[in-house]
Structure 1
Amino acid sequence: MPQSTSDRMTVEQLAERVGMTVRTIRFYAGRGLIPPPLREGRNGFYGPDHLARLELVRELQAHGFTLSAIEGYLERLPSSASPADVALQRTLLAPWLSDLPETVARDVLEVRAGRALSDDDVELLVALRVVEPTPDEDVFRVSPAHLSVGVAMIDLGLPLDAAVEAERLFESHAREIARELTDIFRQKVLPHYRASGESAEAITAMVERFKPLTVQALVTAYESAVNETKRETVRRRT
């Protein structure tokens, strides 16, 4: 994908943006995890595609993938995948990542965000739980896996009160769903597998395989409910 001049970064700027060292980026490039930079004379420039793929690499690392597993994962992505396509892969992984916040100064946060952040922007990121304030007003704890999503919400002009209310709604329902699913697993699923003589390791592996299925079931149910709500709204109007 051609890079616009405003999107171009040197390897040093890319390293600062993604929170890696230049040496690490060059190592990943040598292993084929990111495409070669765009060459202009002796200079190499990087763009959104490189940034998206490196963020996915970091996501996979946080998820416990080995380097060889990451290589295999990225090999299955088509070379034509856009930065948005790669970001979607990160979204699919993010719900099961441990919360691994970093503590950064505000100027570093802005570099990671790829833009200047007003006080209102920071307040929105706090409301979305992407950023947590610290006793030092210019230092924040940030969830790297979710920062790009938070910045996208800023760019869309999401009202702060809507973010606060949506977060409250999702959290309350998510906690209730989590409790009920845990009860089902403890009362029905776990006794079944224990009675079958499965080892603890096998049960653990089974639970891990259930995770993406659970996410997909929740997404499917939510999509179905949203579509039904739309249909009901249309019926009322007609």
Structure 2
Amino acid sequence: MDELAAKAGITVRTLRFYRERKLIPPPRREGRIAWYDDHHLSRLRTISALLERGHTLNGIAELADALDHGRDVADLLGVGAPTEEEPVRLTPEELAARFEGEVTPENLAAAMDLGYLGTDGDEIVHISRRLLDVSSALVREGIPLADVLAAGKQVREHVDTLAEMFATLVLRHGPEENLQRLRPLARSVVEAELSLALDRRLRKRD
């Protein structure tokens, strides 16, 4: 415990307090010896970083609980599944920095329910760099993250319908291999139609 506290830059008393609050998992025990590892050190450094960003211990405890019960990244991404999206690995403090003041247990749970976020040990994995960048950009523009996630849920419902429509069209006229090869065409149609729809929406305001 002394060694862990020293490496984390905190006192043993603070470490005991964190253990009592269940902010860190219990150590592995062998008889009367308690073993701590890099997972505990990473969690302590995360706690310190989040405290510096203004999070309370109660809030950090709720975030830690949400992460501990989050979806595993292997379940989130699947094994060998084809994708054009680039996953992004983040520490909890890096995620908090991306969405200043908006990383709450509720928003974290909503993002995990959507399948945006998964966990891999002490790291958080976002399923798509593009979605991460767009989400953080919208938050910087003053849109609450809760509203961004709610919109994302609506978008998910619509694009699932569009994907099914495109897959049905392609498979009706060719082998399944065509679905992967022709997916850029589906993306182009959606992007073009969304652009035209935004044009129509903007003209209505003129």
**Same fold per TM (> 0.5)?**
no
TM-score of the superposition, structure 2-length normalised? 0.44
TM-score of the superposition, structure 1-length normalised? 0.39
